[in-house]
Amino acid sequence: MKTSSGYWTAVILVLIAAACYGIMSSVLKLAYEKAYTFQQITVHQVGAGAILLWLLVLIRPGTWSKLAFSWKHWGALAFTGIFGLSMTTVLYNQTLERLDASFSIVLLFQFMWITILLESLWKRKWPTKWQWAAIVMAMAGTVLAAGLFENKLTDMDWAGVWFGLGSAVTYSLFLLLTGRVAPGYDPVYKSAIMMSFGFVVIANMYGYKTFDGGLEGEWGLIGWGIALGLIGQVLPTVFFTAGIPRIGSGLASMLGAMELPFAVVGAWLILGEPISLGGIAGIVLILGGIVLAEYGSRLRQPTIQT
């Protein structure tokens, strides 16, 4: 059995997207340390992401002939952009504002089993034994790497917990839908449409609190918005949109688990957070789960007889 180079390119794109999301947590924490509010950061982040995506569309004239308008496809992209992509940003940003980065990532990582459950419901069949085993390994690794047992539940901000679980659901929705809606669209064009619809909703929700910091604060927010928009909206959205249709949302959810080790390393490098032995063990388990999921998915592919 031969695996095409396009398949492995898609795997790499999804891994890079996960790395961007992992690093974004540390960058977002730095922005909060500057006393910017959740509303200010979120509006600038998603707005900058939408602008950057449309700039990418404009500087690629070779794809203009392929741009198309369809009420059906644009409606599906609007739904995915609002309820999958942008709502994940809204909910996860609020989680990071209320909880520490490690526990926030644990909550977001519930997307793994939620995505597999949604995909199983979509296809009307149970997850395979390989998927179950990979989920157990990855979730055990997530708990270890994030130091969940060190958190004091009595001191927990439960609003932040619910925001984190909500972000896991919306992120799962994004992973499930992005590979299925408007499959013939250019990935950058597709991402720009999703981001734009999401920005319109977010601007209407939080725009009135965006400019509370005055002109001087606004220039700082623009810088943070561009940085967060690039690593949190543009690169992962484009790479996920390009990669997921080729590998499927189930494997994409497993590869997305790489977000956690990247987040742990990013927090160590950017924020100076220590990496414990439990964290290292958790990363190893997560990587093992990814390998197991990939092995299982390849076993299920039909063998070509020659």
Spell out the domain ranges in the chain.
40-300
Most confident of 71-80, 123-132, 204-213: 71-80
The confidence score (pLDDT) of residue 151 equals 55
Work out the pLDDT band at 139, boundaries 50, 70, 90.
confident
Tokens of 193: 């449409």
Cα 106 to Cα 153: distance, rounded to the nearest angstrom = 14
Cα 267 to Cα 148: distance, rounded to the nearest angstrom = 16
pLDDT tens profile 22-52: 888 888 888 888 888 888 888 888 899 899 9
Percent of the chain with pLDDT over 90: 7
CB 31 within 8 A of CB 151: no
pLDDT over 70 (residue 154):
no
Q: Give per-residue burial for 254-263: e unless 16+ CB within 10 Å, then b.
A: bbbbbbbbbb
The confidence score (pLDDT) of residue 304 equals 43
Work out the pLDDT band at 2, boundaries 50, 70, 90.
very low
Cα 102 to Cα 279: distance, rounded to the nearest angstrom = 10
Cα 86 to Cα 81: distance, rounded to the nearest angstrom = 6
The confidence score (pLDDT) of residue 102 equals 72
Nearest to 157 by CA among 246, 111, 91, 96: 96
The confidence score (pLDDT) of residue 103 equals 74
pTM of the model: 0.78
Q: How far is CA 252 from CA 13, 33, 36, 173, 258, in A?
A: 10, 32, 33, 12, 10
pLDDT over 80 (residue 13):
yes
